[in-house]
């Protein structure tokens, strides 16, 4: 889903590359096997970028169980999608509002 030259900007975690992002995701999913990420209805905006791909902006809600109850938070994101032939991959991520 990500390009090899991925740049992931996180307001509290800083900048990570493809390898670091994969490692971070593995840790998050291992520690929270029931984590969910749901798009907040009505927040998705997509804009084409001529001869490159698209910009996606929106809000997502993350939830996981903690002490038997759902713990949730809503956060903003922006992603740059790169189109190569028929393939679409995310090349840049900005995740903020944590």
Please give the Cα distance from 22 to 7 (Å, whole number). Answer: 12
- pLDDT, tens only, 36-95: 999 999 999 999 999 999 999 999 999 988 888 888 999 999 999 999 999 999 999 999
Task: Give the confidence band of 32 by pLDDT, cuts at 50, 70, 90.
Answer: confident
Please give the Cα distance from 8 to 5 (Å, whole number). Answer: 10
- Residue 50, C-beta contacts closer than 8 angstroms, at least 6 positions apart: none
Map 12-47 to HEC letters.
Answer: CCEEEEHHHHHHHHHHHHHHCCCCEEEECCCCCEEE
């Amino acid at each position: 889903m990500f390009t090899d030259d991925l740049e992931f900007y996180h307001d509290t975690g800083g900048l990570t590359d493809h390898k670091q992002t994969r490692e971070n995701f593995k840790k998050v999913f291992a520690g929270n096997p029931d984590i969910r990420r749901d798009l907040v209805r009505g927040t998705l905006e997509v804009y084409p970028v001529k001869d490159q791909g698209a910009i996606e902006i929106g809000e997502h809600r993350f939830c996981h169980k903690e002490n038997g109850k759902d713990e949730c938070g809503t956060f903003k994101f922006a992603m740059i999608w790169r189109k190569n032939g028929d393939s679409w991959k995310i090349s840049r991520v900005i995740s903020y509002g944590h």
